[in-house]
Amino acid sequence: MDGIYTVLQKPSEDVYSTINQPQGKRAGAQQGDPTPPVSAAGKASSYRRPALVLLILCCLLLAAIIALAVYHFKTKEDPEKYTSLSSNYSSLLNQLQDLSRDYSNLNKNHSELQSNYSKLSGSHSELQSNYSRLQKENSELRKNNTELSVKSSILDKYCPLKEGSSKDSNCNLCPEKWMRFNGKCYYFSTDNMNWNSSRDNCASMGGHLVIIESKAEQDFLSSQTGCKEYWIGLNDQAIERQWRWVDNTTLNTNETYWGKREDGVEPDNYTGEDPLGEDCVHFAKYKNFTPGWYDASCTLGSYQRICETVAAIIKPRYL
């Protein structure tokens, strides 16, 4: 440092004159320029400032080293404190190692959890899709079950579940509001029509005006008609006295159930109400008359009707 200081104190006058004098006037300065040069002491002061800062920093560093040395020797002088600090330091190191291992394990578990979460997300989406599909299928099944329940209640009405019934037996099924008897279905209307309209109405429902073929059938109808009058499917509109059913079969004279009046028998082809006579037959129970068939004008619209059709055959259900 003394060498540096000496150099700083003795700078060359040529250097000073070169730095301090503006260019172009250096020659004049050598020839007696009246401007005085800067003193050597001022120049040395400006160069000493960085060295002073460096010296201060060195002092601070030396003070810190001395303080650390004093602290170290003090702890050396107190073995218990030194041992405690060493033990705590070792414990902290062990804990740090444990934490590092735990952190690594947690990172690994986190990666596994992320992978499982991705798989579960895919499975959840698939389950949601399947759940929606099952909901739709369940809704359709409920709808079908409701329809089957309605149909089952209708079937049970005509084909009730009977334990021990023969599996070879069948049930006869009739449309709603039709009555079943001996494999046939009968509809007793509540409104009135003439004979031709009654015939057409029965045909529109898949049947025809009733054709009576046995005493049992006649008795069944008689039990259902009460005191009302109903058209049946017998007429002689084509040829007088040639009675035919609506299916164009000829009346069996051994299976007739004409009613009887006090003043005569049926059919009488009475022309008092219709000059064309009475060509159509209705079923009636008149007071003081024998219940049975009576001929009447086909144009009368004051009678109800009995329609007939064949019952559907179905297999019953068994336990």
Taking alpha carbons only, the member of 213, 217, 225 closest to residue 282 is: 225
Q: Predicted confidence band at 236 (pLDDT cuts at 50, 70, 90)?
A: very high
Mean pLDDT of the chain: 79
Would you say residue 144 lies in a domain?
no
Cβ–Cβ < 8 Å for 298, 139 = no
Q: Is residue 232 part of a domain?
A: yes
Q: Compute the distance between CA of residue 315 and CA of residue 19 in angstroms, rounded to an integer.
A: 131
Banded model confidence at residue 148, pLDDT cuts 50, 70, 90: confident
Are both 190 and 305 inside the same structural domain? Answer: yes
Tokens of 293: 């068939």
Position 135 in a domain: no
Render pLDDT for 103-117 as a digit per residue (tens, 0 to 9). Answer: 888 888 989 998 999
Pick from 49, 302, 21, 32: nearest CA to 189: 302
303 with 191, same domain: the answer is: yes
CATH of the domain at 232: 3.10.100.10
pLDDT one-digit tens code per residue, 40-51: 445 445 555 666
Angle, CA 252 vertex, CA 250 and CA 253 arms, to 5°? 120
Per-residue tokens: 316: 């019953």
- CB under 8 Å to 80, separation ≥6 — which residues? none
Q: Which residues are bridge partners to 313 per DSSP?
A: 172
Whole-number Å distance between alpha carbons of 35 and 17: 11
Q: Cα 246–248–253 angle (5° rounding)?
A: 95
The answer to whether residue 146 is domain-embedded is: no
**Within a domain: 91:** no
Is the predicted pLDDT of residue 73 greater than 90, yes or no? no
Residue 139 lies in a domain: no
| Residues 221-242, mean pLDDT to the nearest whole number | 93
**Residue 7: predicted pLDDT:** 37
- Tell me if 93 is assigned to some domain: no
- For residues 201-209, average pLDDT: 96
Q: Is 264 in contact with 319 (CB distance < 8 Å)?
A: no
Q: Identify the pLDDT of residue 155.
A: 64
Q: What is the pLDDT of residue 2?
A: 40
Q: In the chain, pLDDT over 90 holds for what percent of residues? A: 40
What domain range includes position 227?
A: 171-314
Mind listing the pLDDT tens digit for each residue in 152-163? 776 666 566 555
**Chain segment 238-293, per-residue pLDDT in tens:** 999 999 999 999 999 888 999 988 777 889 998 988 999 999 999 998 877 888 99
Would residue 28 count as lying in a domain?
A: no
Q: What is the pTM of this model?
A: 0.51
d(CA 25, CA 223): 156
pLDDT score, position 96: 76
pLDDT value for 169: 60
User: Confidence band (pLDDT; 50, 70, 90) for 211?
Assistant: very high
Counted domains in the chain: 2
Residue 234: DSSP 8-state: E
